[in-house]
Amino acid sequence: MRGQMVPLLTIASFEWDGGTHGWAPYEDQAAALSPSYVAGANPAQPTAVEVGSTDNLQLYVCPASPDHPHTDLIQ
């Protein structure tokens, strides 16, 4: 795989869509639909990690050599 970067890690700002709750895990559905969850305790964002303006951060590595620099993508 010479010259190709492969994904290493994706860090998402939200675990599921906060608007439709389309991918909310079964265990979190009650909290996702509750209008009374505590401000700042969004069940879709339990770690409170926010990348950019609620984007995703992807890190890529070169499988050919650990000496090649890593790269990233925010989208």
- pLDDT given for residue 1 in this prediction: 45
Domain assignment present for residue 36? The answer is yes
pLDDT surpassing 60 at residue 12: yes
Q: Give the CB-side neighbour count of residue 10, counting CA atoms within 13 A.
A: 9
Number of structural domains (the chain) is 1
Domain assignment present for residue 67? The answer is yes
- Give per-residue pLDDT as tens, 43-71: 777 777 788 777 889 999 999 888 999 99
- Print the domain residue range for 48: 6-74
DSSP 51: B
Domain assignment present for residue 29? The answer is yes
- pLDDT given for residue 29 in this prediction: 75
Token reading at 1: 């795989």
Say if CB 53 and CB 22 are below 8 A apart.
Answer: no
Query: What's the chain's average pLDDT?
Result: 79
Residue 73 has φ and ψ, to the nearest 5°, of -145, 130
Domain assignment present for residue 23? The answer is yes
Domain assignment present for residue 1? The answer is no
